[in-house]
Structure 1
């Protein structure tokens, strides 16, 4: 199994210090030892010009259809590159490679890109730009994404498209009206940046950008103890918890309420995660499953939402009878067999995932990642799907700073900080302006990918991070929707905010947001009738008819009204629940 934990990994001129293990004191921020060289290059995100740094020691090259480093290196000889460092990206055709001279100037990188892009054997070349709050790799591709204003007439739109060197790959990208994905005929990043920056400022254009290939961080850690402690975030003696049992007296989640997990996949066969089949948008599979041994994060995240209850296995989610759906928009980054602790995506992968989640009926989504460069088209996808009724939840970040990570910082998401079992903010948790609320995120037990893939060799792990606080909030939102499925995202936010346990300064503050999310208070605040356990036909009495219905369904039964404990099995426990409630409903 690939090395995990705090490690120093050096790949010739490119080195990473990746402290993946979580100490008992605090979770260390992931630090990169690449040097951020400032440049004059910029990009636009939602109309705001943003600077781009650069790692001058490496480059990214694209050769259409080439996946083998051995094949790629033949085209890259005699260009000042260390071909022994050539490694493939998870995006087909892309390769990362070190320069022989790790101390190049920006001008030398520009000259090298021009020389390499002139080669007939290379289709596109980009330097390794660095973007986002963590200065993570952001690579320009030859494809661009163009969004038109609704006011632009069709003739003007067509005339503008004719000026762009290339051809349309997809109109209405991921179902987004007026958003076009175009493959240009350009050969390097600087040409594409010039094109999209000019287009972005044109009248009638909402935004223009490259279909960037970018890295981000999963906002969580790795196992720190193989023992099984109590799930303090659900219930504990000091009452610094989400009051799960009280919430479950009302609902443990409607199976029809889906929570989409945007991540590196979700173990599709995990016995302890209540889920439906997912999707893969990265081009290396057809389901939402993990693909490489470095993929593991998404299963743990999903289990915080919907790990199965009363099955005698592992952990339990806050909404155990609602269901998760894995939306694989990331591949974990590995070089030479080492898992680096980063995730890699492309803008078009992510927007397809966001829109597919809405099309699949998800009413809540979770994004436990951040630190990379923001994207206009991803912001637009979050915005349009929220307007269509989907609540988006994001992890605030793990660097202890007061700057919320993107995408949680977007106005279309609610940002969640992590709490320790004391009820205080975890030392590693990001907070600050824009924080919505807080949830358990330190010492969290969750499901791990089954077998050797995953964080450890078992099927459960203990873990820290806002990655796990966010899905707890997503799960509480699922409970709220289970009680009242008609609620809009704004209304769900209002329920969550007004029922949080106040922490820190009275009322809203930037340390805890609205406070500690409380599942019981949230569902109790809704003006609905409390369901009567055992009443299978809704006639307000538990009688012989209900007994006969339980007998009829006895055995494995998915989403049956007679499955009172939500374990997908009508059995002895359900009969006991019915007998305990026998008679008129209260």
Structure 2
């Protein structure tokens, strides 16, 4: 995970002018973010995201306005309409941008936000800012791995048996959020969760039957059978390494995936939604985040869990918010742990990205007594300085987190080689609170698939059990998630 975050926040170095000294910046334009101008003071080339003019939901109230427009539509219809509009805007406005970028390396068009990423020279920047279809330009590292040669991957499809807890032990955090009671109504069947992490252990008995299998891909043939731009993406894709091999290099993704879908095949039930499926995506840059959201939408995912936290993005926070809002409009429920920075960061920067985005369900942490843990990040979050948004000014800011769950330690957790870490005396953090809420979202959508992403978020918040002063507050949000109450509310059951 440290490598992932380092890649996300480290700029790519580029060439200087012929005499070894960078020349002055291009003519200053209101379309150029300060990060671009700063990068050009050190180099003659810069990696950028070029934001085009027309966006589905750009601005402080834009997503709310979109929600009002589609309020009567079931999720599948609202999703299709959002995708159509997003792709139409990209098709209409990107051609003149791509014309200017001819000859530039590492060009990557996007549609989940109407944008293009590339590595550009000063001269190309001057041309870009003169294009009417260009709204804004951010400095953002391009991942050369996105353009690497494909690596064949055979995949490990397993056979999924219907979930039956039977007499198996159930992790106490699931008991606390009333997941076993929810299983009488829903186990997450038919729901696909996209896991944005560092991969997972594809051989663990609790996970092997839960892996999504891309129906359009032939495993191991070294070809892009479904023409989605990715070779052998049988169970997802590692965008950071341009590889379909989703086997994790560390345990973090295995821990998280166990909380999402661990069905107890190896002995202990850890997963909130044991009949849901997961696909794995790994990212390394801001552009990769957008590509991952596009992949999740194209694959038909319903929920996205993001157990990472990125600081110091400045105005790029707005790009992440735009992508997240568009992903929500396209049917994805987004969840993220609230971060673990209460002891070493001041407010309002304890909740970062993506957990600080309004449309993302940010999940804080409590101990077994319902008290906020010492490390769980507290709100508020400030957005008033972010270009195109300028909302939620301090001191009130945006109240976050939205809800709370149990970050550990204490409950058993999946051991990547097999079996479980039990007793678990050290694995803890809000990385493990977020997937508990993602699992509840999966339980809801399994029995109420027509609910839109924002409706699922509202249900999880409104059915949470308050553990502090009445109402929402900046340490535990609306309270501890309640899976049974949420599923009951979604189905209209008493």
Task: Place the TM-score, normalised by the shorter chain, in its bin.
Answer: 0.5 to 0.7
1:231 aligns to 2:171 (yes or no): yes
More helix by share: 2
Distance 1:324 1:177, change over 3 A: closer
2:370 aligned to which of 398, 420, 423: 423
The question of whether the paired residues in 1 share the 8 Å contact of 2:260 and 2:436 is answered with yes
Structure 1 match to 2:138: 209
Distance 1:162 1:355, change over 3 A: closer
User: Which secondary structure does the structure 1 equivalent of 2:20 belong to?
Assistant: helix
Distance 1:442 1:114, change over 3 A: farther
1:301 aligned to which of 245, 248, 256: 256
1:483 aligns to 2:473 (yes or no): no
- 2 CA distance for matches of 1:182 and 1:439? 40
Shift, 1:488, TM fit: 0.5
1:259 aligns to 2:206 (yes or no): no
Structure 2 match to 1:176: 112
1:506 aligns to 2:470 (yes or no): yes
Distance 1:155 1:466, change over 3 A: closer
Shift, 1:529, TM fit: 7.0
Shift, 1:170, TM fit: 4.7
Shift, 1:360, TM fit: 1.0
Distance 1:305 1:200, change over 3 A: farther
Shift, 1:313, TM fit: 2.5
2:308 aligned to which of 344, 369, 373: 369
1:445 aligns to 2:412 (yes or no): yes
Structure 2 match to 1:279: 237
User: Which secondary structure does the structure 2 equivalent of 1:493 belong to?
Assistant: helix
Distance 1:317 1:200, change over 3 A: farther
User: Which secondary structure does the structure 1 equivalent of 2:259 belong to?
Assistant: helix
The question of whether the paired residues in 2 share the 8 Å contact of 1:442 and 1:465 is answered with yes
Shift, 1:412, TM fit: 2.7
Distance 1:114 1:527, change over 3 A: farther
- 2 CA distance for matches of 1:154 and 1:319? 38
- 2 CA distance for matches of 1:249 and 1:391? 23
Structure 2 match to 1:226: none
Structure 2 match to 1:407: 354
The question of whether the paired residues in 2 share the 8 Å contact of 1:200 and 1:209 is answered with no
- 2 CA distance for matches of 1:199 and 1:384? 24
The question of whether the paired residues in 2 share the 8 Å contact of 1:416 and 1:466 is answered with yes
- 2 CA distance for matches of 1:486 and 1:141? 47
User: Which secondary structure does the structure 2 equivalent of 1:327 belong to?
Assistant: strand
Distance 1:146 1:440, change over 3 A: same
- The 5 Å alignment of 1:32-51 reads none
Structure 2 match to 1:523: 487
1:288 aligns to 2:243 (yes or no): no
Structure 2 match to 1:269: 203
- 2 CA distance for matches of 1:429 and 1:318? 21
Structure 1 match to 2:287: 348
Shift, 1:287, TM fit: 3.1
User: Which secondary structure does the structure 2 equivalent of 1:415 belong to?
Assistant: strand
TM-score, structure 1 normalization: 0.54
The alignment yields a C-alpha RMSD, in angstroms, of 3.9
Shift, 1:373, TM fit: 3.7
Shift, 1:370, TM fit: 0.8
Shift, 1:365, TM fit: 0.5
More strand by share: 1
Distance 1:520 1:315, change over 3 A: same
1:326 aligns to 2:280 (yes or no): yes
Distance 1:412 1:205, change over 3 A: farther
- The 5 Å alignment of 1:440-479 reads 440-443=406-409, 444-450=411-417, 459-460=420-421, 462=424, 463-479=427-443
- 1 CA distance for matches of 2:295 and 2:97? 29
Distance 1:312 1:144, change over 3 A: closer
The question of whether the paired residues in 2 share the 8 Å contact of 1:147 and 1:207 is answered with yes
Q: How many residues align?
A: 359
- The 5 Å alignment of 1:21-36 reads none
Shift, 1:439, TM fit: 0.6
Structure 1 match to 2:180: 245
Shift, 1:265, TM fit: 1.0
- 2 CA distance for matches of 1:200 and 1:442? 49
2:337 aligned to which of 392, 395, 401: 395
Shift, 1:162, TM fit: 5.5
- 2 CA distance for matches of 1:322 and 1:156? 38
1:313 aligned to which of 260, 264, 267: 267
Q: Gaps spanning 5+ residues in structure 1: where?
A: 5-17, 19-31, 33-51, 64-109, 119-130, 132-138, 215-228, 236-240, 330-344, 452-457, 531-586
Structure 2 match to 1:496: 460
Mark the structure with the bigger radius of gyration. Answer: 1
- 2 CA distance for matches of 1:321 and 1:157? 41
Greater RCO (CA < 8 Å, at least 6 residues apart): 2
User: Which secondary structure does the structure 2 equivalent of 1:233 belong to?
Assistant: helix
TM-score, structure 2 normalization: 0.63
Distance 1:177 1:407, change over 3 A: closer
User: Which secondary structure does the structure 1 equivalent of 2:485 belong to?
Assistant: helix
Please give the per-residue CA displacement for 1:209-231, whole angstroms capped at 9, x wherever unaligned: 234269xxxxxxxxxxxxxx972
